[in-house]
Structures are given as C-alpha cells and as structure tokens.
Structure 1
C-alpha cells in the first residue's frame, strides 16, 4: 500500500493485487427485479474479474427490510444465470466468506460497531424523528441542504448511560472528520471531496438494529476480501465517507471505480418503474442473453479500440468481451442505450447460434415449443409441420428476415407451419394445377433455382399468364397476397408439403 501526501490532503492510493487475489462483488438490494443498469454493473464486474482470473461474488444487501420484495433474490440469481454471468460465490453457491445475505451477518456488524464506539469513531444518537424533521424543514426554509447538526456527538458518557438505561430509542452515527480526503478513481482519476463540509454524521446502525448501506458494505467488502469495487456513479460522492470508515477501523480500502450513468435514448435516467428495462422483459420478448450483453456494452465503452468499433457489426462472446475489457477505456460520459440496435444484435446472435450444431438443436427445440404454445391458443388449423429438417430449413432461410424467433409466428410466416384457409379457384386454374401436380411429382430437385426455371417454362407450355398463375399458387400454398417467391415458398415447404397443399386446394374446389 502506497501512502502519499500532497498539499496537506490525505490521499489514498490504490492497492496492487496479483491476479489470483482479484475479488469483485455485485451487491444489489432485493427491492425489485434486475434491470439494465444493474445488469451493466454486474457485467462489468464479471468481465473485470474474468479478465484477471479473479472471483465474481453476488452479495445481497437487504438491510432495508421495509422495501424487500418476495422472490426478488431468487429472480436475481435466475436473471444473472440466464445472462451468462457466472456467480462464483453467493447465496445459492456458497463460499468461504459467507453468509452472502446481509441480514444473516448481523452478529458481525454488532461486533464491528463496538470497535468504532470504543475507539471514539462512532456514537449513540437519541434524536427523535420529530427533531430531525424540524431540522430538515428549517434547512429548506433557509434554502440550505438539509443535514444532521451532530448534536449527539457532544453527549457526555453520563448522558449516554442514562439514556440507555431509560431505554431511549437510538441509532449509531459515524463521526466524519473535517479533513479533505482524496482517492484515485479507476475510471475518473483523482477525486477530492470534503464530505464533512456537505453532510452531517451519517447513521451506520439504524434504530431497528440493522446497518445502513454505508456501514455494512465496507464491513462486508473488508471481510470478503474485495479487491475492487466497481459500482454506479451515484456512489462516487459517498466514497470519501467510506474511506474514512476504513481508516477508523485501521483497514486498507479496496480500489474504487465508478461506472458512468446508463441512460435511455432520450437522455432520461433508467428507472425501476420502467417495465421494459427489466431483464425478465427481454427474456420474455425473445432476446438472446448474449445479444443483451452486447447491447449494454455498446453503450458504455471499456474495450480495446478494435472491439469497440466492431461491436455493432457482430456479436462478441463473453470470453471475447472479457479478453478485450480494459477498465481504463471506460467512458466518463453517460452512455445512451440505442433500442434500434438491440434487434440487430439479436439477429447477429441468431446467426451465430445457427453455426453451432449444439446451439442449432437447442433453437429447434425452442421453435417447436413456441409453435406448440402459439397454436394451442390459436384458432388456426393446427396440422403443424414440425419435423426437424423443415424447422432447420426455415431457420436458415429466415435468419436475414427475422430478429427474434417469435417473428416466425407473424401472420406472413404462418403458412410455413399450417395449411392456409381454402380459396376459390376458377376452372382454368384447377386444370393448370392438375397438370402442375403431374410434373412436380416427377421433379427430383426441389431447389428454388430449378423450380423458378421450371415454373416459367410450365406457364409458357400451358399458355397461361405467368404472373396471374403465380398469384393463384401463392393463395393455394399460403393464403397470402405477398411474400417470398413461389419457387422459394415451394423449397421452404418441401416437395411433400407442396404437393399436399396443392391437392387439398383442388379437393376443396372439386367437392
């Protein structure tokens, strides 16, 4: 640990760690579900630890018991796992530094708060909510920033003893020192902030016995041996306060890096009230995990120049992202999400998955599941064509036409899976299709190129108008007025399905 003094300021330099000592944590509160901002923080911690062969830890900060959401912890774990972020230590995984849920670590906090009370770094505060509210109102009236006036800091030992004996309700506050503290932010460089000038002594143990974020997070980071704290920019202003707490314990602080804000495309802040930024929302909408990660990365920087420039052109795997991650390249400007790019990334991921045999098989299963679920609720004829070869053919054909698998259920795609509604045919159309069936039955190759030449030649031989006949065939085969060429449609449906549909169209009109 290097210690430097400059211009009378207390300056805390970063610590140096070997690769195997890199330990980072993602510490959400289970007061809602994971959204894009939280995913970005988790992702950058994960990529940093992975790039250094370190350890990624999930810690649940549930000290605000009044705001807990049932099932939020389980959903957080599911969302991170779905996104491909590997939790190496955490509530469901275990590890050597648990428990990893703060409400299960209260004994540790009690032990540590006694140390601060004993060394004079913290004190009991007996101020009532009414008094604190009056302080807030007076400050607002005087156009000042509301802050605690540190009244109880000056209580005598005798006064404290009497209040405790009377059972007075209390909290514990930390004594902020008036000296200016500086530290080196891994993203923003040197940060200097006089916290005591702007804030009153903060509560570190609430009246309900639970620690506040400011206290619990430094105790946990110390005992979990966290080497680097990468968190949102909103916590940057609190970091000098946290460093003072580390100093009060005689502990070395970890390295701190603060991630710039992630904004909506219009420049507004992300909000948990936005249902469309929840990770579960993207999963339900058919977005692939890796597409979502690349989408988030695209808005924030942090990568070697070549990767950052090419990130819009192709999907990068988690290994590629980790290998290319460089915390010094993180932008200090807020990043804006570009929703139009999300589906481009999703399409690129679909193409990537189709190149891998295992991933392709998983996609086939997913398409079958989507189709079965869709047609279970649909009035469309459910004579589904779900053989593996057909679905594989459709996926490879449609990869440049769709951005997510559910696009295969759009109205103009339904012909690929089910028989169209019957259409009215004129007598000359029936005669032409009868002859067409005879010739198609002996066709060995059913490729669009061969079929395109064959259909033109057939129309000439039958002396029928090619464009009108194609319109009729489109109606019989798909029930659509527009779509892929008839040759392409026949290739997609396959020979057996094409012949079957033509026969059924004839049968309906001849009955």
Structure 2
C-alpha cells in the first residue's frame, strides 16, 4: 500500500513551500488509495516553538488536506512525535555500532571549532576529519567509563560511489569522499534528522518520501543507512525549489512565505492549492482552473519538472480573483467575506453590495476598503470634489443643487431611475466633460473616486444618506 508522510520540524510559522509538499503527499496517497501520515520531528529542542504544531494542523485543516495518521489522530505506528521515540533510535544506533557502521566520537566542541577554522583557511569544505573513527574498543570503553560526552557518527565507506535514485532526476552518484561522517545521535541523547527520519520511515512503512530539493545532498547518507540496516529503499522524490520571479529561492526576505499571511489577506485555500498544484506540473488539457479532486485524479509525480518553478504572487492574485468571481456562489462569498469585514455593515447591505464589488476583489481583505463608502459617518472631502470637477465652486454648487432636486423627486429610487436622473441632468451641463461630471457626482455621493458602479452605489446608499451628503458639500462650498 502506498504510504506518504509529511515530517515537519515545529520551529516556526507554516511555510507555503511546506503546503506544496503536503499537497503532493496528499495527492499521491489519495490517488493510490493509500495513507498519508504527519509525523512531528521535534528533536531539535533549541529551535522548538511551542505553538508551531498547532499552527501546522490549523493550516492543514484550512486547506482540507487532512491526514490519516498523526500526533493528533493517533494510528498504527504511534507515537508520532520523535521526542517520544528516543528509545527506538537508541536501539537502532546501537545496531549500527555493533555492525561497525557507526562509531563513538568524543571530540570536544573546541576541537571541532578549531578543525572547521583550519579547513576554512585552507579552502576545504567543512567536514569531520574522522579523528575518532578508528579508536580501539579499549579506548572507547575507557572514555565511556570516564563518562566523557560523545556523539555517534555514521561510518561512511571509503572510496565508493553512492547511488541515489530520484524519481524525476534519475540516478545521481555521490563520491563517498564528499559525504561527511554525519552525527546520528547527539550528546543529549536525541537523534539527528538523518537517523530518526530513516528509522521512522522504515518502521512506519513509508513507501514514498516526498521532500524538498534541499535534502538531495543528504540523500547518500540516507541510502547508506538503508543499506546498512538491510531495508528496502522507498521511492525518493525531491520537489523542485520554489523561486521568486527573479529566480532566487522563495524566502520571506523577497516574498510572502507564511501561510498565515495568505489567510489574513483573504486568499482562498482552494485557489492557493490550484495555483501551487501547477508549480512544475501542467494539467493534461492545459486547464488553469481545476479542483483538488481533479488534481488528485490526474497528478503523477513523474510528470513534475525538476526545474525550479516561479511562485508568482501576481498570478496567484489573478487566480484568487477568478475563484471569487466565477467559482464561489454569492452565498459562499457572503459567508467568507463576513469573516474579513470589520465595518459596521448589515448582512442585508452586504448581500446587496456583493454583486457590485466582487468584480474588483482579488483578496477578501479588500472588502473593507471597497465598502468604506457605505459608512454614514463618512465625510466628503470638498478639495477632492474640486479636483475631480475642474470647475469653480459656484459651478460645482449649481450642479449639486440641481442634482439634489433631481434625486429628491425620484420616487422609485432604483438603479434605472437614478441613472436616468443623472444622465438627464447631464444634458443641462454640456460644458462639463463626461469624466469630470460623473466623477464629481461619484465623490459627492460616495466620498471616494473609486467605488463599485456609480448608479448601483447610490441606490445601495439610500436616498436619505445620499441627499444628506450632497447637502453637506453644498454647505461647504
């Protein structure tokens, strides 16, 4: 049975690149009627962040990418926190010691620091110099009896090429002389990722390892561990690195990487999944808009391009707008907008105005700016009115008195009747350019030069408020 896993470290916010990996894990498992597991790799206690795990699961739920087994759901292979599995790693690292595939290292921090400085001075890559690799059994026992602090390192075979088979990159060979004798167990008794992940992936019967391209250089160490334990290697798939439009690696310095930011802005989770699903993968029919269900049905790991795809926020905003305008029903849009609305606007008003604003919405948080014009207390900037009209105060005042009269006598107060009132009045002002005329009325009635369609906005505002605003500007001129 196909079994995928997502194994994050709880060290901070949820990265949008992590959701890319989760989507692929989820899709491969669902497509093959398998299982998707979330395992928490919390062995790096120095970087541990207390609420990071909760935020991860909140993001998973928001995107609708629920797992089958995890630290919150339990499962056949519990526990799913690596910090609760320390005895398991101790057992397996001792097996490596016994088989001669790992060794105790008693080097002090001071010695290792000096070693790295010397390597840097001579232009060598920072690697352990194997100082403790060939200690005799007697020397090791003596150091252990003295309780000298130690780590346990992987004993990388010498003078061989290590073959890593990546699903989309093919066979890659790493000379063992370039592979470090990696620390497997730290002095505090906690394993490093390189031991814990391999042991857990095997014991949890993971069949497909989907992880970031940055882990590719570590893969030869993992291949060696599988060989040393005599275990079958899972399918390895390293996702392409997501890039900024300038082709640099996607990072918080140049773009938005925190899932929380996308939530706060009002991006739709289904639109984000649609967008990231196309990063390195193309729909067989060339479609740009498709559902998660369709993606799961059609997606194949081997169809992903290894070239780093560009995470284009401009395109994501366009796609999010498409979902707002074309995918969500007005009832769905109403419920989602309410979560972002901070203005004192009634449900009735909101439902009435949604058809007017959705064409302008790219993200849901824009709703507050677009609906400012509805607030009764909104003041009209007379200087802005003058700027739009390019007329004298007396000319503006004359127009507004006539507008006031035309609207005052409108008994229907419909979009059609309001449009007729304003267009008929224009005939009496032939010296006013069309743009200046309508923009002046827009600012006087709505307070803003950019709003939903003018006649619809005036109708939603209501006769009483519109006339009050016109009167207030007349009095200021």
**TM-score (normalizing by structure 2):** 0.87
Does the Cα contact within 8 Å between 1:23 and 1:225 map onto a contact in 2?
A: yes
Question: Which sits farther off after the overlay, 477-486 or 213-222?
Answer: 477-486
2:379 equivalent among 412, 418, 421: 421
Alignment of 1:404 with 2:363, yes or no, is: yes
Partner of 1:10: none
Equivalent in 262, 271, 280 of residue 282 of structure 1: 262
Other structure's SS at 1:66 match: coil
Which stretch of structure 1 is more off in the superposition, 225-234 or 35-44?
Answer: 35-44
**Does 2:281 match 1:317?**
no
What does residue range 105-504 of structure 1 map to in structure 2 within 5 Å?
105-178=85-158, 179-194=160-175, 196-271=176-251, 276-298=256-278, 300-306=279-285, 309-311=286-288, 314=289, 316-355=290-329, 357=331, 359-367=332-340, 370-372=341-343, 384-388=344-348, 390-410=349-369, 413-418=371-376, 420-421=378-379, 426=397, 429-430=400-401, 433-438=404-409, 440-442=410-412, 446-448=414-416, 451-457=418-424, 473-481=441-449, 483=451, 486-491=454-459, 493=460, 497-504=461-468
Aligned residues of 1:275 and 1:281 also touching (Cα < 8 A): no
Separation in structure 2 between the aligned mates of residue 109 and residue 285 of structure 1, nearest angstrom:
42
Match of 2:45 in 1: 65
Contact 1:437–1:502, Cα closer than 8 Å, also in 2: no
Structure 2 distance, partners of 1:471, 1:304, is 44
Asked whether the equivalents of residues 386 and 417 of structure 1 are also in contact (C-alpha less than 8 Å), the reply is no
- Partner of 2:184, secondary structure, is strand
Tell me which moved more, 199-208 or 425-434.
Answer: 425-434
Distance in 2 (CA, whole Å) between partners of 1:402 and 1:186 is: 40
Report the CA distance shift for 1:28/1:482 in structure 2 as closer, same or farther (over 3 A).
Answer: closer
- Cα distance in 2 between the residues matched to 1:483 and 1:200: 62
Report how far residue 392 of structure 1 moved: 2.4
Return closer, same or farther for 1:258/1:115 CA change in 2, 3 Å cut-off.
same
Q: In structure 1, how many angstroms separate the alpha carbons of the residues matched to 2:368 and 2:82?
A: 45
Q: Residues 470, 281 of structure 1: CA spacing in aligned structure 2 closer, same or farther, 3 A cutoff?
A: closer
> What is the TM-score of this pair, normalised by structure 1?
0.81
Instruction: Tell me the residue number matched to 1:6.
Output: none
Contact residue 171 and residue 205 of structure 1 kept, 8 A: yes
Gap change, CA 1:68 and 1:432, over 3 Å in 2: closer
1:53 aligned to which of 6, 28, 33? 33
Structure 1 residues 480 and 207, CA, compared in 2 at 3 Å: closer, same or farther?
closer
Partner of 1:80: 60
Superposed CA RMSD in Å reads 2.8
Contact persistence 1:22–1:52 (CA under 8 A): yes
Task: Please give the per-residue CA displacement for 1:199-243, whole angstroms capped at 9, x wherever unaligned.
Answer: 232211111111111100000101111110011112112222212
Which secondary structure state, in structure 1, belongs to the residue aligned with residue 233 of structure 2?
Answer: coil
Q: How much does 1:364 deviate?
A: 4.7
